[in-house]
Structure 1
């Protein structure tokens, strides 16, 4: 038995005096959960034919990014000359049907030539990749068995609440069938590289090898798939992220039926509405998704949405943060119509939009023909040359020359508030109207002195200043 949060709070209010010691709350017993659920959890290993030179990102490797790194596998030296498949990665998964369908992360099996599944009775069998979805990091496997296999019970991730107990079962660092526990920390988290998944954030200890394993509620039901961690060391640091099982099963049904996942698409580039933007647009508080680009001929363009519109509701669901909009749009079937509520020039308006189908990843990154862009530089931004498309969408006069900011990565530009969609016309008193001039100018910028930059934002020009250090 353990005291629930509700009764605990009530007892404090009624019985605890200011000088009394804080009572200890018992941790729930996970023994029964583990006994009942663990037989349906599997260990997954993969093999790949050696390439001329290969390396797999692993925990703690210097080449891994500092945050939200994918965690699986071990570093490989130069591939041997032998054609024998070599170990590539380790992970977890769980059986979702007694005839052998298994759910795991795409990054656990991506690029594998052979997938080996180890069951709870320690038997091993080869698995077939039914299909995968890179955007949501999901993969469905199939194994053959002469007997019905144990399966997990699926829960309702929409009923998850911050503060509730959860547990993970998997193979961290290949220590098979390890269970760890914690609580749900937050819901509907949007991560930088995964804008189509409303992640469940937990403080459950998750490490390399847990990837693809189940996240259980106290009823022993799967409510998520452990997928990512926040780490600077390669190991657990208190922030873990799981794909909600409701979202996963929506993708699984498509993968099982056609081998891939289709998503809805609005055809806009968006950004977060911060306090300054909210004030400038006449909002009482920061909320919504600010459109900074509309793809020509896309669904939003056909619905007459414009750059500068702030989407506040989609299909009657509030959009509090910009990251939640792609999630809402993505689960709408292409061809279906959706309602969009937005603010334009301080007025609240509504429209109907016929949702399109999300293009492939290359088309998604901008949704426009290729144009010359700069690489990342000392300012931490990428820019592109203005063309008729950009001029139209940004409502710029033909006589304006400059470069449009397509990406703000880090560093000085982010610190001084440069935003995607800004048009840079001058840097350090030099007119920049081509990528070549821009790159040359940025390389020659002085250090430890004030530098001016002229920026046009939403049709309004202005100067901002910054300093570069050694």
Structure 2
């Protein structure tokens, strides 16, 4: 009887709030709980004369806020503003440009609420699931929007700075409306878990012909754990830029005996990186950047065939410094295997 009374009371409350459908009730509850944890992030541009950047972040612990690296990269005198208007100073604690994440320390306040990042792999999230977005578009807000999880996969369009976010193997895509200022916003499931951190919008504002792009929550959770413990990400990395085979001229592939477009070519190798230490060879290009000869082609990681460069990034990200990882390659018309030893990446 007590359960029935409580259920009836909740139903009456929902009706009083003009929320009838169960999904409306769930959505409203998620937004209400998220609002105290979401903050506006802003600061003073390092370069004189430039406009200040406004973004969004959210508390993941009593004193830590996560946001995008590209939001705070060129700012000083950082502050965060809570949903109730109170403003507090903040400073960078650690950054992870590879997945476009920054962790801030907020001074003078304990978080009114913290949000929990999912541990569910991106590819296990069901397409079409409802998602809620809370942030500060154009600095206004906090404002909420709603949509679905539209897709999971690599980002195929060029970004303004290829070095930022280069280690995100696959992104979440959503039709939930978002725009300038939403960078760093939490993308939440209807259970209240953060399934992604908004990083960009492609093709114009989402909901107006654009697509929202978010870094998967389980990848961000892994990064935060590393940043708190070590100050730098411990995610496995190759230390080389890659090009998916299906982006290359077929004539070049045939010239080295390749009959598949499943794989990723090593383009440029960073000195001192795991790729360099394992002897991986990069591509040859002319002064204008035109491809003259292929670099090593990665066909598999630890025996698992790769489809494209996103697969390579995703599979290597599972490993930690000290791990030995086998790569199956195609070089000069023959298959061979090399072993990478993962190392701690340099601080940036």
Cα deviations by residue, 1:389-428 (Å, 9 ceiling, x for unpaired): xxxxxxxxxxxxxxxxxxxxxxxxxxxxxxxxxxxxxxxx
Cα deviations by residue, 1:113-150 (Å, 9 ceiling, x for unpaired): 32222223332222232122233221111224565631
Question: Paired residue for 1:42?
Answer: 39
Question: Paired residue for 2:131?
Answer: 166
The 5 A counterparts of 1:290-301 are 290-292=265-267, 299-300=274-275
Q: Per-residue deviation at 1:45?
A: 2.5
Question: Paired residue for 1:319?
Answer: 306
Task: Tell me the SS of whatever aligns to 1:149.
Answer: coil
Cα distance between partner residues in 2 of 1:335 and 1:199: 27
Question: Paired residue for 2:218?
Answer: 246
Unaligned runs of 5+ in 1: 1-25, 57-87, 362-470
Cα distance between partner residues in 1 of 2:176 and 2:114: 22
Cα distance between partner residues in 2 of 1:47 and 1:321: 40
Question: Paired residue for 2:102?
Answer: 139
The 5 A counterparts of 1:191-202 are 192=158, 193=162, 194-197=165-168, 198-202=170-174
CA contact (8 A) 2:56 2:182 kept: yes
Q: Per-residue deviation at 1:41?
A: 1.3
Task: Tell me the SS of whatever aligns to 1:107.
Answer: helix
- Between 1:160-169 and 1:147-156, the stretch displaced more is 147-156
Cα distance between partner residues in 1 of 2:272 and 2:127: 41
**The one of 28, 44, 50 aligned to 1:55:** 50
Cα distance between partner residues in 2 of 1:341 and 1:127: 45
Go from structure 1 to structure 2 and tell me whether the alpha carbon gap of 1:236 and 1:319 turns closer, same or farther (over 3 Å shift). farther
Go from structure 1 to structure 2 and tell me whether the alpha carbon gap of 1:171 and 1:314 turns closer, same or farther (over 3 Å shift). same
Task: Tell me the SS of whatever aligns to 1:270.
Answer: strand
Cα distance between partner residues in 2 of 1:147 and 1:232: 36
Question: Paired residue for 2:261?
Answer: 286
Structure with bigger RCO (C-alpha 8 Å, 6+ apart): 2
Question: Paired residue for 2:324?
Answer: 337
Q: Which has the larger radius of gyration?
A: 1
Go from structure 1 to structure 2 and tell me whether the alpha carbon gap of 1:279 and 1:167 turns closer, same or farther (over 3 Å shift). farther
Cα deviations by residue, 1:162-183 (Å, 9 ceiling, x for unpaired): 3222121111122212111222
Q: Per-residue deviation at 1:107?
A: 2.2
Cα distance between partner residues in 1 of 2:185 and 2:338: 41
Asked if residue 90 in structure 1 is aligned to residue 54 in structure 2, the reply is yes
Q: Over the residues paired in the alignment, what is the CA RMSD in angstroms?
A: 3.2
Q: Per-residue deviation at 1:89?
A: 2.2
CA contact (8 A) 2:176 2:207 kept: no
Say which structure is richer in helix.
Answer: 2
Cα distance between partner residues in 1 of 2:103 and 2:277: 36
CA contact (8 A) 2:232 2:347 kept: no
**The one of 140, 144, 147 aligned to 1:175:** 140
Cα distance between partner residues in 1 of 2:275 and 2:339: 9
Go from structure 1 to structure 2 and tell me whether the alpha carbon gap of 1:126 and 1:332 turns closer, same or farther (over 3 Å shift). same
Q: Per-residue deviation at 1:214?
A: 0.1
Unaligned runs of 5+ in 2: 1-20, 282-293
Question: Paired residue for 2:6?
Answer: none
Go from structure 1 to structure 2 and tell me whether the alpha carbon gap of 1:292 and 1:170 turns closer, same or farther (over 3 Å shift). closer
Task: Tell me the SS of whatever aligns to 1:248.
Answer: helix
Go from structure 1 to structure 2 and tell me whether the alpha carbon gap of 1:314 and 1:173 turns closer, same or farther (over 3 Å shift). same
The 5 A counterparts of 1:342-353 are 342-344=329-331, 349-353=336-340
Go from structure 1 to structure 2 and tell me whether the alpha carbon gap of 1:28 and 1:90 turns closer, same or farther (over 3 Å shift). same
Question: Paired residue for 1:427?
Answer: none
The 5 A counterparts of 1:42-441 are 42-48=39-45, 53-56=48-51, 88-97=52-61, 99-144=62-107, 149-158=112-121, 159-190=124-155, 192=158, 193=162, 194-197=165-168, 198-231=170-203, 237-274=209-246, 276=250, 285-292=260-267, 299-300=274-275, 302-303=277-278, 305-306=280-281, 308-330=295-317, 332-344=319-331, 349-358=336-345
Go from structure 1 to structure 2 and tell me whether the alpha carbon gap of 1:110 and 1:262 turns closer, same or farther (over 3 Å shift). same
Task: Tell me the SS of whatever aligns to 1:113.
Answer: strand
With the length of structure 2 as denominator, give the TM-score of the two structures: 0.74
Go from structure 1 to structure 2 and tell me whether the alpha carbon gap of 1:155 and 1:302 turns closer, same or farther (over 3 Å shift). closer
Go from structure 1 to structure 2 and tell me whether the alpha carbon gap of 1:211 and 1:279 turns closer, same or farther (over 3 Å shift). same
